[in-house]
Structure 1
């Protein structure tokens, strides 16, 4: 593992342990060249996934990008970080276990919305507003009206 501080290729593992939900190995590392300490996470990747964007462009799946979008939707919401990590890990496992190497971005968005709906309604609406490209307040009103089961006129 390359040192993120000095780019030395020869770093040493000082401590390894599984993370809370055993979905990754957390490793504390030390760089003998500059003396820096840093943490890495090692995860099992069942298959390489390619995301097919709405434009038809293909990009490699990025777990960190998925996590950033979920954390953005959950910003300042009273949900424990462990629950968010379980949601993200569960979504990644679902994508990997689908058996497909190419997955449409629409499907990923719908899975994220499904996960957020069960976790936090405000985050669900926040994510939906970006994912479904709400343009004005009326779009929010209609979406929230469908959530509460009372259509708004």
Structure 2
């Protein structure tokens, strides 16, 4: 590797370490010509499928766009950023493993909903309402009822959504 300081053609590695998540190698390098030290980061280049949008438009997979989708759904919800990282990684890994050159955006949306369902029920319903284009309160109620049926009691980390809504109306 060329030295970024003096452009010498060869540098030597003096230390290599994995990052915390194990996906990147950090290398500490030194230039024998000028003595400057610098870091390089090595990651595997893995191809992700192109996303087929409505109208057959195609665009490259964008991990930042995926992350923003999670963050919007989880806005003002008590979910730590590490959990968002895990969810983004899960969706990305699923897309990588599918082996397809292209996937419909609908498939990506379903993967996001699967991960949101694990993270936060309110964020899940929030995302589903936009993603599935809910037209009225009835659509929200159906999705909430489906969510409650699908989640075993042992996974219920939050209070049930419909019971709280019913109690709120009765007390009014």
| Partner in structure 2 of residue 22 of structure 1 | 22
Structure-1 separation of matches of 2:58 and 2:107: 14
Structure with the higher helix share, 1 or 2? 2
| Partner in structure 2 of residue 141 of structure 1 | 141
Q: Could you state the TM-score of these two structures normalised by the residue count of structure 1? A: 0.70
Q: What per-residue deviation string (whole Å, max 9, x for no partner) do you get for residues 28-49 of structure 1?
A: xxxxxxxxxxxxx875331142
Structure-2 separation of matches of 1:91 and 1:20: 20
Structure-1 separation of matches of 2:115 and 2:109: 10
Please give the root-mean-square deviation of Cα atoms over the aligned residues, in Å: 2.7
Q: Where does structure 1 lack aligned partners over 5 or more consecutive residues? A: 1-9, 28-40
Alignment length, in residue pairs?
A: 126
| Partner in structure 2 of residue 121 of structure 1 | 121
| Partner in structure 2 of residue 108 of structure 1 | 108
Checking the alignment, whether the CA contact within 8 Å between 1:50 and 1:102 is kept in structure 2 is yes
Structure 1 position 138, deviation (Å): 2.2
Q: Where does structure 2 lack aligned partners over 5 or more consecutive residues? A: 6-15, 28-40, 150-161, 163-172
| Partner in structure 2 of residue 92 of structure 1 | 92
Moved >3 Å (runs of 4+): 16-20, 23-27, 41-45
Q: Could you state the TM-score of these two structures normalised by the residue count of structure 2? A: 0.63
Structure-1 separation of matches of 2:18 and 2:122: 32
Answer 1 or 2: higher relative contact order, Cα 8 Å, separation at least 6. 1
- Structure 1 residues 9-88: aligned runs within 5 Å: 19-24=19-24, 43-88=43-88
SS in 1 for 2:108: helix
Structure-1 separation of matches of 2:121 and 2:71: 14
